[in-house]
Chains A and B, each alone.
Chain A
């Protein structure tokens, strides 16, 4: 499988060349264009129950698509996420990565997608009560609204709510006020997420709630 991320950082998309016999798992509706003789097959995201949980609780789709090349030559498929923004790739080798709702785009077939309880803190901080966790072995692609900042955390780090995209599972999330009571409520930051531990996080430079908050007062 040969994958290229193009159009970064504003409108990143994935050009995937599948060799004969290879497959790719992709989020529902992520396909933009593909060779006509690729096989597309929709299946539950995990089993039926787990898929349903992912849809209702994790903000992911009930179904995912599996694209398989059954021809004797390479075939191309192009994938994009719904939000304009950057895409990151990660190689999983038994380690896990937690993804925020909607971040998942595609993975190679041996990657396992599961749902985990993320905790009340995550829910209240608008990051979702549940989180998608990707494990197993293979490549994983996920995306964000805006650019992506990759950050290695050693100790503590603070991220504004709705800006967290992905993080390694050993990190702990806590909710807190950005500053004192006054600066938290009048400084425009409100609540923030405090991340503790050692590991990597991915942060998006824009947030959909931020855009919505800017648009809404202009609609009448």
Chain B
């Protein structure tokens, strides 16, 4: 699979080029266009991996219940995938390592990548990320998206990521919720409140913008929904 990004970082889309018989798995609804030499099958699972339960679990985390499998019937088939929100996209390379992706950021992956739900503990409730995370393992390429630009940070020791800015991180990293400043008073008054304190050695991919903050600037001006 060859991945080429267009229109980064504002309204990124990924052009996936497939060789004959190659397949790619994409989040339901991610495809925006494709060549006609591609066969789509929709399932609740990755082929020969897991099944209905995995689909249910995925639906629970805010990902789509269904996954679409795009299989190239001829050489040089292309699929263009993107997401609802404007923002950046990037690829992650898996070579037997594990990467944890914030649910909602997953777009597509090669079929050789294994996907399961992970649990990072109740701290996720307060981190403005989903409660569940996607654990990706195996070997292959993964396409992820973000709200805002994506930038990787090589962590060696400790690094602070504000809540709502995590896109993905190496499994070798761990994070704890903590205060942003020296004291709780300063953290809360300064508007930062809780932050995620990463420790270990590895990479964390962050998004520059915060969907909650943008929502807060829009929300009060939207009219209330009539019940």
A binds B: yes
Contact of A82 among B160, B213, B226 (CB under 8 A): B213
Contact of A7 among B157, B186, B208 (CB under 8 A): B208
How distant is the Cα of A78 from the Cα of B153 in the complex, in angstroms? 11
How distant is the Cα of A84 from the Cα of B146 in the complex, in angstroms? 12
Question: Contact between B191 and A63 (Cβ–Cβ < 8 Å)?
Answer: yes
Q: Which of B157-172 contact A (CB under 8 A)?
A: 157-162, 165
Question: How does the 8 Å CB contact mask read for A71-113 relative to B, with 1 for contact and 0 for none?
Answer: 0000000101111100000000000000000100000000000
Question: Contact between B10 and A29 (Cβ–Cβ < 8 Å)?
Answer: no
Contact of B148 among A13, A34, A36 (CB under 8 A): A13
Question: Contact between A65 and B210 (Cβ–Cβ < 8 Å)?
Answer: no
Asked whether A63 and B221 contact (CB < 8 A) given A11-B9, A84-B148, the answer is no
Asked whether A32 and B189 contact (CB < 8 A) given A11-B87, A211-B218, A216-B223, the answer is no
How distant is the Cα of A215 from the Cα of B220 in the complex, in angstroms? 13
Task: Judge whether A33 is part of the interface by a CB distance below 8 angstroms.
Answer: yes
Question: Contact between B191 and A65 (Cβ–Cβ < 8 Å)?
Answer: yes
Question: Contact between B151 and A78 (Cβ–Cβ < 8 Å)?
Answer: yes
Task: Judge whether A154 is part of the interface by a CB distance below 8 angstroms.
Answer: no
Task: Judge whether A57 is part of the interface by a CB distance below 8 angstroms.
Answer: no
Residues of B within 8 A of A32 (CB): 161-162, 165, 206-210
Q: Which of A187-220 contact B (CB under 8 A)?
A: 208-209, 211-212, 215-216, 219-220
How distant is the Cα of A4 from the Cα of B4 in the complex, in angstroms? 26
In chain A, what residue has the closest Cβ to B226?
A220
Interface size grouping (class) on chain B: 35 or more
A27 shortest CB reach to chain B, Å: 8
Asked whether A10 and B191 contact (CB < 8 A) given A34-B160, A42-B181, A80-B210, the answer is no
Contact of A35 among B160, B208, B218, B223 (CB under 8 A): B160
B38 shortest CB reach to chain A, Å: 30
Question: Contact between A80 and B208 (Cβ–Cβ < 8 Å)?
Answer: yes
Residues of B within 8 A of A29 (CB): 162, 190-192, 210, 213
Task: Judge whether B149 is part of the interface by a CB distance below 8 angstroms.
Answer: yes
Q: Which of A45-69 contact B (CB under 8 A)?
A: 61-65
Task: Judge whether B174 is part of the interface by a CB distance below 8 angstroms.
Answer: no
In chain A, what residue has the closest Cβ to B153?
A33
How distant is the Cα of A78 from the Cα of B161 in the complex, in angstroms? 9
B188 shortest CB reach to chain A, Å: 8
How distant is the Cα of A6 from the Cα of B148 in the complex, in angstroms? 11
Task: Judge whether B216 is part of the interface by a CB distance below 8 angstroms.
Answer: yes
How distant is the Cα of A182 from the Cα of B209 in the complex, in angstroms? 41
In chain B, what residue has the closest Cβ to A79?
B208
Task: Judge whether B217 is part of the interface by a CB distance below 8 angstroms.
Answer: yes
Question: Contact between B189 and A42 (Cβ–Cβ < 8 Å)?
Answer: yes
In chain A, what residue has the closest Cβ to B219?
A212
Task: Judge whether A153 is part of the interface by a CB distance below 8 angstroms.
Answer: no
Task: Judge whether B180 is part of the interface by a CB distance below 8 angstroms.
Answer: yes
How distant is the Cα of A33 from the Cα of B203 in the complex, in angstroms? 13
Residues of A within 8 A of B165 (CB): 32-33
Residues of B within 8 A of A38 (CB): 160
How distant is the Cα of A62 from the Cα of B191 in the complex, in angstroms? 9
Contact of B191 among A6, A28, A211 (CB under 8 A): A28
Question: Contact between A33 and B206 (Cβ–Cβ < 8 Å)?
Answer: yes
How distant is the Cα of A78 from the Cα of B86 in the complex, in angstroms? 20
Task: Judge whether B57 is part of the interface by a CB distance below 8 angstroms.
Answer: no
In chain A, what residue has the closest Cβ to B85?
A84
Residues of B within 8 A of A41 (CB): 181-182, 186, 190
B25 shortest CB reach to chain A, Å: 27
Query: Which B residues lie at the A interface, using CB under 8 A?
Result: 9-11, 86-88, 147-149, 151, 153, 157-162, 165, 180-182, 185-187, 189-192, 197, 206-210, 213-214, 216-218, 221-223, 225-226
Identify 14 residue pairs between A and B in the complex whose beta-carbon atoms are under 8 Å apart, listed by A's number: A10-B9, A10-B11, A13-B151, A32-B208, A35-B158, A36-B157, A40-B181, A40-B192, A63-B191, A65-B190, A81-B209, A84-B209, A84-B214, A212-B221
Query: Which A residues lie at the B interface, using CB under 8 A?
Result: 6-7, 9-11, 13, 15, 27-29, 31-42, 61-65, 78, 80-84, 102, 208-209, 211-212, 215-216, 219-220
